[in-house]
């Protein structure tokens, strides 16, 4: 930041807020901040079409913040060394605007973005530090003083972790009355966050309207700005609502208790609005935990099973899934000297899939396996929000994207999960509106796919899904045999696989026919096998 920039910034700070020229200096100060943080250069060339959206969005936020917060942001910039790098200035800016920091976290979980850009975003995510522990202990004393005295709780003096809206402190307890001792953690909302978040939630509403009104200026003209920004707002609201997280923890403990390899931290009853007290998990981030190759494979299986199989294959009316399964929220730990376990922490963001939604997802997978394009369309038609289906171009849009899928993949034709995620992505970009929790599930799967690849790159999600499904259907055979004698009573909802006997017969028949045809094609004289990667 050069001397001219400092002069403009200081003029903005020294100009009275009721002055008619205050707005003019604030506009100039915002321009200085954008220039000094290098936001224009940060977005890689591969995303150059999205730069106007990024720049307009951040400018809008900075101009909409209260005068007091804007001054604090500027003063923080002035405290940095004159030769501070653009990255350091942008990090300082993002750390004081939770919604920008949250957006950076979300983008950083995408494994397909530019490598250098992603490294910087991860650095941003890991760069949070400096919360005053005494300010956190004041909140603890105010809300837990009775429990601290009664249960002999001792609060630690070192933060275990720190995120954009909360920080985590360890504690020990020695309840002589109940005869219980142990370790736990307290997740505490930072004292200034509620005020910041409330202001930013209002700004998000205004930003959504701004983008929607000016959509013709941007590359994503059909993008549903209102709904997408609404999803960001929803995530922020959930993150600061610890009562929701506490309920999610209890529901998750119940839902995943049958899997002995999965651990959900139990929440304690003395949790409050601003504090979640929960069980301490003695493990490490799954990508940092020392594991043998066999244990890495097992961990990959556990993570995939927890995030994909358990929430999808079930006869329950609704199933719960973790909405933000990045590696920092997945811990590996040793249950004993021989057995490994995986813990899922931070349930502030979670989603629910209804049995009808799961049935339609499986119908879509069924259609992909059977090359049934009309079947895929019918499944999507039942998943999409009603208001969009009134549009006359709906079927054309969906069928066009279905046709664009890579159907001829040689030996890789069973890349069903990838194709399903790809299809949902393309439709969402083109303005098709899916239920919020379905989109959250899609984003969670995308995130966890990256975690699995980092933990155990050889893991084959498609093969594991097929094996899981075969094992599940095998267990269902006694029940299926019974319904074979009363086919009028046979329904997909009778089975965890959510496939009726008719569905299963059609799937097996199609897979067998395709397999036989591919073997015949590969072995007939004169045939030359194509490179499936090039296709």
What is the pLDDT at residue 124? 59
Cα dihedral 139, 142, 147, 148 in deg (nearest 10): 70
Please write the tens of the pLDDT for every residue from 150-162: 888 899 999 988 8
Determine the average pLDDT of the residues in 385-410: 71
| Per-residue pLDDT, 103 | 67
State the pLDDT confidence band at 531, using cuts at 50, 70 and 90.
very low
3-state secondary structure 242-254: HHHHHHHHHHHHH
The band of 322, judged by pLDDT with boundaries at 50, 70 and 90, is: very high
Largest CA distance in the chain: 86
**How far lies 344's CA from each of 91, 108, 276, 354, 513, in Å?**
28, 19, 15, 22, 41
Rg (CA), the chain: 26
405 lies in some domain: no
Residue among 428, 401, 444 at smallest CA distance from 224: 428
Indicate if the pLDDT at residue 185 is higher than 60.
Answer: yes
Q: For residue 274, what are its two tokens?
A: 């601003």
Q: Which residue has the tokens 């007290």?
A: 277
Q: How many structural domains compose the chain?
A: 1
Backbone phi, psi, residue 24, to 5°: -65, -45
The answer to whether residue 95 is domain-embedded is yes
Assigned domain for 24 exists: yes
- Rounded mean pLDDT of the chain? 81
User: Helix 22-36 vs helix 51-64: angle between axes, to the nearest 10 degrees?
Assistant: 140
CA dihedral 396, 397, 399, 405 (to 10 degrees): 150
In a domain, 52, yes or no: yes
Asked if residue 415 has pLDDT above 80, the reply is: no
In the structure encoding, which two tokens stand for residue 387, read together?
A: 């208001």
| Residue 298 CA neighbour count, 13 Å, CB half | 16
Q: How far apart are CA 144 and CA 333, in angstroms?
A: 29
Per the structure, the complete domain to which residue 41 belongs is given by 3-127
In a domain? residue 442 = no
User: 96 lies in a domain?
Assistant: yes
Instruction: Reduce the DSSP state of residue 160 to 3 states and report it.
Output: coil
Q: Give the tens place of pLDDT for each residue, 104-145.
A: 666 655 555 556 656 666 665 555 666 789 999 999 999 999
Q: Which of 167-181, 261-275, 361-375, 450-464 has the lowest mean pLDDT?
A: 167-181
Confidence of residue 5 (pLDDT cuts 50, 70, 90): low
22-50 b/e (C-beta count within 10 Å ≥ 16 → b):
eeebbeebbebbbbbbebeebbeeeeeee
Write phi, then psi, for 245 (nearest 5 degrees): -60, -40
Distance CA 87, CA 72 (A): 19
Q: At what angle do helices 394-404 and 373-383 cross, to 10 degrees?
A: 130
185: left (phi over 0), alpha (psi -120 to 50) or beta: beta
């Amino acid at each position: 930041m050069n001397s001219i920039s400092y002069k403009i910034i200081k003029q903005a700070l020294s100009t009275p807020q009721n002055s008619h020229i205050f707005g003019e200096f604030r506009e100039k100060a915002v321009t200085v901040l954008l220039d000094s943080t290098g936001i224009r250069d940060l977005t890689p060339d591969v995303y150059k079409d999205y730069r106007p959206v990024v720049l307009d969005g951040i400018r809008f936020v900075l101009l909409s913040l209260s005068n007091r917060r804007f001054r604090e942001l500027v003063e923080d910039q002035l405290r940095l060394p004159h030769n501070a790098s653009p990255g350091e200035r942008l990090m300082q800016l993002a750390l004081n605007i939770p919604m920008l920091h949250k957006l950076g976290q979300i983008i950083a979980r995408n494994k397909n973005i530019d490598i250098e850009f992603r490294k910087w975003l991860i650095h941003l995510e890991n760069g949070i530090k400096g919360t005053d522990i005494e300010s956190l202990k004041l909140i603890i004393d105010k809300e837990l003083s009775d429990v601290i005295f009664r249960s002999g709780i001792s609060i630690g003096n070192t933060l275990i972790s720190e995120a954009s809206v909360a920080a985590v402190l360890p504690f020990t307890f020695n309840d002589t009355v109940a005869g219980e001792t142990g370790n736990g953690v307290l997740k505490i909302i930072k004292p200034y966050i509620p005020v910041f978040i409330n202001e930013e939630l209002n700004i998000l509403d205004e930003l959504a309207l701004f983008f929607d009104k000016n959509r013709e200026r941007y590359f994503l003209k059909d993008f549903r700005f209102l709904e997408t920004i609404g999803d960001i707002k929803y995530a922020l609201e959930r993150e600061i609502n610890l009562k929701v997280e506490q309920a999610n923890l209890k529901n998750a403990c119940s839902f995943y208790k049958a899997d002995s390899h999965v651990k959900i931290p139990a929440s304690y009853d003395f949790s409050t609005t601003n504090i979640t007290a929960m069980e301490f998990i003695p493990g490490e981030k799954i990508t940092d935990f020392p594991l043998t190759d066999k244990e890495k494979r097992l961990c990959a299986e556990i993570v995939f099973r927890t995030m994909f199989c358990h929430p999808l294959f079930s006869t329950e009316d609704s199933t719960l899934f973790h909405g933000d399964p990045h590696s920092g929220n997945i811990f590996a730990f040793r249950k004993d000297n021989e057995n490994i376990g995986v813990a899922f922490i931070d349930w502030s963001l979670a989603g629910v899939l209804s049995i009808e939604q799961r049935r339609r997802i499986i119908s879509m997978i069924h259609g992909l396996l059977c090359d049934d394009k009309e079947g895929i369309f019918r499944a999507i038609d039942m998943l999409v929000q009603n208001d969009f289906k009134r549009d006359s171009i709906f079927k054309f849009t969906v069928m066009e994207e279905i046709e664009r899928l890579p159907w001829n993949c040689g030996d890789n034709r069973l890349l069903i999960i990838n194709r399903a995620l790809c299809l949902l992505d393309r439709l969402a970009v083109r303005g098709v509106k899916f239920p919020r929790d379905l989109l959250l599930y899609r984003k969670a799967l995308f995130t966890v796919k990256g975690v699995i690849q980092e933990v155990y790159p050889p893991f084959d999600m498609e093969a594991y899904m097929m094996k899981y499904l075969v094992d599940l259907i095998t267990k269902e055979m006694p029940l299926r045999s019974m319904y074979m004698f009363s086919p009028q009573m046979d329904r997909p909802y009778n089975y965890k696989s959510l496939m009726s006997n008719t569905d299963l017969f059609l799937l097996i028949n199609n897979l067998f026919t395709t397999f036989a045809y591919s073997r015949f094609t590969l072995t007939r004289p004169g045939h030359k096998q194509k490179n499936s990667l090039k296709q």
